[in-house]
Protein backbone atom coordinates (compact mmCIF):
# COMPACT_ATOMS: atom_id res chain seq x y z
CA UNK A 1 0.00 0.00 0.00
CA UNK A 2 0.85 3.66 -0.07
CA UNK A 3 2.70 5.02 2.96
CA UNK A 4 3.06 8.72 3.72
CA UNK A 5 5.57 9.97 6.25
CA UNK A 6 6.20 13.40 7.72
CA UNK A 7 8.24 15.06 10.45
CA UNK A 8 6.50 17.07 13.16
CA UNK A 9 7.79 20.47 14.19
CA UNK A 10 10.59 22.66 12.99
CA UNK A 11 13.72 20.50 13.12
CA UNK A 12 16.83 20.52 10.92
CA UNK A 13 16.01 17.10 9.49
CA UNK A 14 14.11 15.80 6.50
CA UNK A 15 12.80 12.49 5.29
CA UNK A 16 14.54 10.96 2.32
CA UNK A 17 12.61 8.32 0.44
CA UNK A 18 14.60 5.24 -0.45
CA UNK A 19 13.26 2.10 -2.07
CA UNK A 20 9.67 1.02 -1.66
CA UNK A 21 8.09 2.29 1.55
CA UNK A 22 11.42 2.92 3.30
CA UNK A 23 12.54 6.33 4.49
CA UNK A 24 15.68 7.70 6.12
CA UNK A 25 15.87 10.66 8.50
CA UNK A 26 18.75 12.86 7.31
CA UNK A 27 20.04 16.28 8.32
CA UNK A 28 18.93 19.21 6.19
CA UNK A 29 21.81 21.42 7.35
CA UNK A 30 24.98 21.27 9.41
CA UNK A 31 24.37 20.65 13.12
CA UNK A 32 26.31 22.33 15.93
CA UNK A 33 26.22 20.48 19.27
CA UNK A 34 27.34 23.60 21.13
CA UNK A 35 24.32 25.49 19.77
CA UNK A 36 21.71 22.73 20.26
CA UNK A 37 22.74 19.61 22.18
CA UNK A 38 19.71 17.44 21.39
CA UNK A 39 16.58 17.24 19.26
CA UNK A 40 13.26 15.49 19.73
CA UNK A 41 12.06 14.17 16.40
CA UNK A 42 8.60 12.74 15.77
CA UNK A 43 8.01 10.82 12.56
CA UNK A 44 4.40 10.24 11.56
CA UNK A 45 3.55 7.45 9.14
CA UNK A 46 0.16 6.95 7.57
CA UNK A 47 -0.97 3.96 5.54
CA UNK A 48 -3.14 5.12 2.66
CA UNK A 49 -3.93 1.65 1.38
CA UNK A 50 -6.59 -0.83 2.29
CA UNK A 51 -6.02 -4.21 3.98
pTM of the model: 0.74
Helices (H), ranges, 1-51: none
What is the longest distance spanned by two Cα atoms in the chain? 47
Q: What is the pLDDT of residue 51?
A: 66
Cα 14–48–26 angle (5° rounding)?
A: 10
Q: What pLDDT, in 10s, does the model give residues 4-21? A: 899 998 999 999 988 877
Amino acid sequence: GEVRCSLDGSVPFRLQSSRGSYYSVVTSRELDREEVSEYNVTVRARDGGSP
